[in-house]
Amino acid sequence: MNTQIKAAVVTAFQQPLSVETNYELPEPGPNQALVKLVTSGVCHTDLHAAEGDWPVKPSPPFVPGHEGVGEVVAVGPGVTDVKVGDMVGNAWLWSACGSCEYCETGWETLCEQQRNGGYSVDGSFGDHMIVDTRYAARIPEGADPVEVAPVLCAGVTVLKALKRTEARPGQWVAITGIGGLGHIAIQYAKALGLRVAAVDIADEKLELARKHGAEITVNAKNEDPIEAIQKATGGVHGVVVTAVHPAAFGQAIGFARRGGTIVFVGLPAGDFPAPIFDVVLKGLTIRGSIVGTRRDLKEALEFYARGLIHPTVATRPLEEINEVFDEMRQGKIDGRVVIDYR
């Protein structure tokens, strides 16, 4: 017995999503629950998914969305770790195998058997979704469902990336790309006691960065960001790159101080040139970082529950998903758009 739901469906890459009212979801199986959605953030990854931007592609038809917050309305056979009425969320790390080398060593985000919310499993751009109860987020009591949604991907991703910079309290980090991820990265960085330099190519984004506590802001369209950051900070200890243009990646290497670490998070299609001489002589570390483990997600939600993180959000109905994607392509969204199903 399937459940028919209203959902925004990718039927073909690079085509508008189709909002359907009779999309079929299976019944929740073992380790699964059916969730009635209240909100869902819209991540740039959802746009990459709908465009088919990446080498490993999802198979249409599918429902994007991996920042969904909702209420459990049914559980599968034998499920006892959540109950009807609990508030839970889906995530990019929808499930993992639990027993491979990566899962066993705290690197479940690298599991080769992982399933991804809104990519290889239907996600939260619908009025209901299925979650794996072992991996679903537990939404803190009293959370505002609109504000907390972006924590489920943007929040955990940037908290993990900041940890991976190995920057310590009092040191400098540069955040490049002040969109959904970047504006939350500034808030986690401040909460961790770091000093923040923010880089984007739009003045409105830099205004948002200052509002959230960036001490230095640089518009990479108007001035040389490497020169500006080196001059203001002497080079940053850590860099988190969330920008959606490959040009920002090679550039970010130049922001670092000797011995610094540059963490790539943004996922635009393409390559970038890296200055071998600088990487070697300055002893730089360049690494990638993909979302976070369940433990990282729990920590990210704890920062939120303590009132330290307030994503800038605006709500939209599901029917406007194609307009939201257009605004995202044009870099016109301030903070995060959250679909409101209420």
Q: Report residue 257 as tokens.
A: 């101080």
Among 45, 90, 116, 165, binds Zn ion (CB under 5 A): 45
Dist. CA 221–CA 3, nearest whole Å: 49
List residues near ligand NAD by CB under 6 A.
43-45, 48, 153, 157, 176-182, 199-202, 205, 220, 242-245, 247-248, 265-268, 289-291, 328, 331, 333
Closest to 25 (Cα-Cα) out of 78, 69, 76 = 76
**Considering the complex, what minimum distance in angstroms separates the CB of residue 158 from ligand NAD?**
8
The partner in contact with residue 111, picked from ligand NAD, Zn ion, none with C-beta cut-offs of 5 to 8 angstroms by kind, is Zn ion
The partner in contact with residue 291, picked from Zn ion, ligand NAD, none with C-beta cut-offs of 5 to 8 angstroms by kind, is ligand NAD
Q: DSSP labels for 146-181? A: HHHGGGGTHHHHHHHHHHHHT--TTSEEEEE--SHH
Handedness of CA 61, 67, 70, 75 (dihedral sign): positive
Dist. CA 18–CA 24, nearest whole Å: 14
Instruction: Tell me the three state secondary structure of residue 303.
Output: helix
Q: DSSP labels for 176-235? A: E--SHHHHHHHHHHHHTT-EEEEEES-HHHHHHHHHTT-SEEEETTTS-HHHHHHHHHSS
The partner in contact with residue 100, picked from Zn ion, ligand NAD, none with C-beta cut-offs of 5 to 8 angstroms by kind, is Zn ion
| Contact indicator for 200, 334 with CB cutoff of 8 Å | no
Instruction: Tell me the three state secondary structure of residue 306.
Output: coil
**Considering the complex, what minimum distance in angstroms separates the CB of residue 88 from ligand NAD?**
20
Q: Report residue 147 as tokens.
A: 């504000």
Q: Which is nearer to ligand NAD, 6 or 245 (CB)?
A: 245
**Considering the complex, what minimum distance in angstroms separates the CB of residue 71 from Zn ion?**
22
**Considering the complex, what minimum distance in angstroms separates the CB of residue 324 from ligand NAD?**
11
Task: Tell whether residue 97 is a contact of Zn ion (CB under 5 A).
Answer: yes
Size of the site for Zn ion (CB under 5 A): 8
Dist. CA 295–CA 211, nearest whole Å: 29
Q: Report residue 83 as tokens.
A: 């109950």
Q: Which is nearer to ligand NAD, 269 or 281 (CB)?
A: 269
Task: Tell whether residue 187 is a contact of Zn ion (CB under 5 A).
Answer: no
| Contact indicator for 17, 321 with CB cutoff of 8 Å | yes
**Considering the complex, what minimum distance in angstroms separates the CB of residue 139 from ligand NAD?**
19
Dist. CA 198–CA 50, nearest whole Å: 29
Q: Which is nearer to Zn ion, 220 or 333 (CB)?
A: 333
Among 35, 103, 192, 253, binds Zn ion (CB under 5 A): 103
Dist. CA 198–CA 207, nearest whole Å: 10
Q: Which residues pair with 261 in a beta bridge?
A: 238, 285
Q: Which is nearer to ligand NAD, 128 or 160 (CB)?
A: 160
**Considering the complex, what minimum distance in angstroms separates the CB of residue 314 from ligand NAD?**
12
Among 73, 100, 202, 247, binds Zn ion (CB under 5 A): 100
Residue with tokens 């984007």: 200
Residue with tokens 């465009």: 51
The partner in contact with residue 202, picked from ligand NAD, Zn ion, none with C-beta cut-offs of 5 to 8 angstroms by kind, is ligand NAD
**Considering the complex, what minimum distance in angstroms separates the CB of residue 156 from ligand NAD?**
8
**Considering the complex, what minimum distance in angstroms separates the CB of residue 170 from ligand NAD?**
25
Q: Which is nearer to ligand NAD, 75 or 91 (CB)?
A: 91
Half-sphere exposure of 233 (CA within 13 A, CB side): 32
The partner in contact with residue 286, picked from Zn ion, ligand NAD, none with C-beta cut-offs of 5 to 8 angstroms by kind, is none
Q: Which is nearer to ligand NAD, 132 or 296 (CB)?
A: 296
Residues near Zn ion (CB under 5 A) are 43, 45, 96-97, 100, 103, 111, 153
